Amino acid sequence: AQTVTQSQPEMSVQEAETVTLSCTYDTSENNYYLFWYKQPPSRQMILVIRQEAYKQQNATENRFSVNFQKAAKSFSLKISDSQLGDTAMYFCAFMKHVNSGGSNYKLTFGKGTLLTVNP
């Protein structure tokens, strides 16, 4: 079974600064996907960024980027130029590759990191 660990329950950052959220995972799979989801107070889970394990290049989406270290099983999220709207709970999630029509298609989540951006 896969496990996802987020070691920082809470973090805070000043507006316009950069912050990095940590995530480690444990799996015996070689082909999988990693995600960061954001859950603001509205509770809607919003995809921030995704990474395919077979890609060495780190994913980037505007101010959000990841540092994917496959051998270390580490997947951290860097938020640059933090904005007040970034205040939310951030979840790291793992999904093993499942062939089309296959079962076991699910996300395994970490416990989350509550990020507060201060003005």
Partner 1 sequence: KAGVTQTPRYLIKTRGQQVTLSCSPISGHRSVSWYQQTPGQGLQFLFEYFSETQRNKGNFPGRFSGRQFSNSRSEMNVSTLELGDSALYLCASSLEAGTGNTIYFGEGSWLTVV
Q: Which of 94, 77, 73, 95 is nearest to 86 (CA)?
A: 77
d(CA 90, CA 66): 13
Q: Provide the mask over 29-58, with x wherever binding to partner 1 is found by CB under 8 A and - wherever it is not.
A: ---xx---x----xxxxxx--x-x------
**Closer Cβ to partner 1, 19 or 95, answer by number:** 95
Two structure tokens written together for 83: 């904005």
Residue 64: name the closest of 29, 115, 118, 10 by CA: 115
- Judged by beta carbon, residue 11 or residue 45, the one nearer partner 1 is 45
CB of 30 vs partner 1, minimal distance in Å:
14
Query: Positive or negative CA dihedral for 63, 67, 68, 74?
Result: negative
Site string for partner 1, 98-117 (x = CB under 8 A): xxxxxxxxxxxxxxx-----
Q: Out of 88, 95, 115, 117, which residue is the one contacting partner 1 (CB under 8 A)?
A: 95
In angstroms, the CA 63 to CA 27 distance is 28
CB of 80 to partner 1, least distance (A): 23
Chain contacts with partner 1 (rule: CB under 8 A): 32-33, 37, 42-47, 50, 52, 91, 95, 97-112
